[in-house]
Amino acid sequence: MSVKPRVTLALAALLAASSAFAFNLGDAAKAVSGATGTDTTRVASTPQTSGLLSALTGQLGVSDEQALGGTGALLGLAKNKLSTADYSQLAKTVPGLDKLTGSSALGGLGGQLGNLGGGASSGLLGNVSSMGDVSKAFGALGMDQDMTGKFSGVLLDYLGKQGLNSNLLGTLGSLWGSGA
């Protein structure tokens, strides 16, 4: 067998394994969140965070795990990129928001997704520092890249209704690529 067919065969096997892997991430998310005791109703412990997650599931038709994970990825990016004062203002606007940020969003699920997705030691939801990281987290949760814009739109709308100032909304919109 020559080198070119071997490479093609190896790539085909890798792609086939990736598709099967992606199909089972929802089940993995449920298993891990169950094993770690993470309950979406427990994470959404305030009326504001519960309202946010309800808005996401209702408007976008995503699962509770996808709503938590997507929100956690976007808020994790905000936490890593905003100034301490801006993030503090954001957290005060929606009590309990810190529980939805980064790896806190799904407890141990972030680390498990990272391990399954290629061994990232911090996990897909744990150390979000770019929109590329957000896209990876969305992909691991079974959502395509277009969902990041939809999520950010719902988040920005919700945060605006909660009284977040327009300057910070604009900053978040730019950070998340929404151009709010």
Task: Give residue for tokens 């277009």.
Answer: 146
Q: pLDDT tens for residues 156-168?
A: 999 999 999 999 9
- pLDDT reported for residue 163: 94
Q: pLDDT tens for residues 30-87?
A: 433 443 344 444 444 566 678 888 999 999 999 988 998 899 899 999 999 999 999 9
- pLDDT reported for residue 95: 80
Residue 36, φ and ψ in degrees, nearest 5: -90, -5
163: which 2 tokens? 């009284």
Highest averaged pLDDT of the listed ranges 91-95, 110-114, 161-165: 161-165
pLDDT at 115 over 50: no
Q: Which of 50, 68, 164 is nearest to 124 (CA)?
A: 68
CA distance 24 to 140: 10
- The domain segmentation of the chain, as residue ranges, is 26-175
- In this structure, are residues 37 and 31 in contact, taking their beta carbons and an 8 Å threshold? no
